[in-house]
Structure 1
Amino acid sequence: MRHPLHPALVHFPIACWSLATVADLASLVWGEPAWRLAGVLLVAGIGFSIPAMLAGFLELAKVAEDNPAIKDVNRHMIVVMCALAFYTASLFLRLQGTHLIEPGLLAIGMSVLGFLFLAAAGWLGGKLVYGHRLGVSPP
């Protein structure tokens, strides 16, 4: 495939996780409908993140060890894995068996931290494309 798959797949977990964080914060005002939506979006975001990360690993394999972008590639990977860890922790804190329960402040805090790491990962991803020109076809 000439076009990298990773950039096409990342939109799904980004959207789900971002909206989950918004729904978590909204749940402080609107209660159950918002926190239930946040829980479902966390599950979807985690599920969608797996193929996006696998595609990212495939793209990583194409980057030479001596490429000046490799440090930013590794930073991007670590930061997005931190986002996944925070969102997964947030999900587990709101599960009772297989049922979603109202999240406490710790679960909501984990969601907010996940969003901050997600934003940093997005910034680094943009740096890889626009700064280092990774995944960009030559003119």
Structure 2
Amino acid sequence: MMSESIASKMSIGGHPIHPMLIHFPVAALIGLIGTDIGYVLTGDQFWARAGLWLAGVGTVGGWISGTVGLLDLLIVRKIRRLITAWCHAVLAVMLLSLASLNWLMRIGEADAAILPWGLFLSALSGLAIGATSLLGGQLVYDHAVGVDFEEAPEPTQPE
């Protein structure tokens, strides 16, 4: 166990906001890979429309969550000193750039953008999510960013 945690300044009741927000855009961008594959396999416009919405939710949600994470990076000195935090931030900006381009390409004619570039950008975004998430996990589990070490009560043993 780490001896000292790094508190997030962007928190509600001691709970960091960035990890609360990031799950929805990540799920949307991962789901986008599935809708692109669904469109390629079936040609059904439903998948193209669903992909447009997932790309938008993933992009807008990612920018909101990323802004909160960036504020923590800039405000909290202990976070700023972590190379892992800067690598996480750089990868997140790259991911948001890919997601933004992917979404903007789909506005207007969602189906026309899927092959080849939409699917490629979706897959590349999926890889970027994996790398960015790995570094985010290291910030929490290795550096205790946003972790509260308050002593928990001892569990009782069944009799």
User: Does residue 145 of structure 2 align to residue 131 of structure 1?
Assistant: no
Question: What CA deviation, in whole Å up to 9, does each residue of 1:61-120 have, x standing for no partner?
Answer: 2142774xx110011111111111111112222233xx5343221121011101110111
Cα distance between partner residues in 2 of 1:66 and 1:50: 20
CA shift, 1:56, in A, is 0.4
Structure 1 or 2: larger helix share? 1
Instruction: Report which of the two structures shows the higher radius of gyration computed on alpha carbons.
Output: 2
Cα distance between partner residues in 2 of 1:74 and 1:37: 33
Percent identity among equivalent residues? 24
User: Does residue 5 of structure 2 align to residue 3 of structure 1?
Assistant: no
Question: Normalising to structure 1: TM-score of the pair?
Answer: 0.87
Q: Which has the higher contact order (CA 8 A, sep 6+)?
A: 2
Q: Which runs of 5+ in 1 are unaligned?
A: none
The counterpart of 1:71, out of the listed 74, 83, 107, is 83
Task: Tell me if the contact between 2:79 and 2:145 (Cα under 8 Å) persists in the aligned partners.
Answer: no
SS of the residue aligned with 1:132?
A: coil
Give 1:120's aligned residue: 131
Cα distance between partner residues in 1 of 2:79 and 2:59: 29
Q: Which runs of 5+ in 2 are unaligned?
A: 1-11, 151-159
The counterpart of 2:103, out of the listed 85, 88, 91, is 91
User: Does residue 65 of structure 2 align to residue 52 of structure 1?
Assistant: yes
Task: Tell me if the contact between 1:89 and 1:107 (Cα under 8 Å) persists in the aligned partners.
Answer: no
User: Could you say what the CA RMSD is over the residues aligned between the two structures, in angstroms?
Assistant: 1.7
Give 2:48's aligned residue: 35
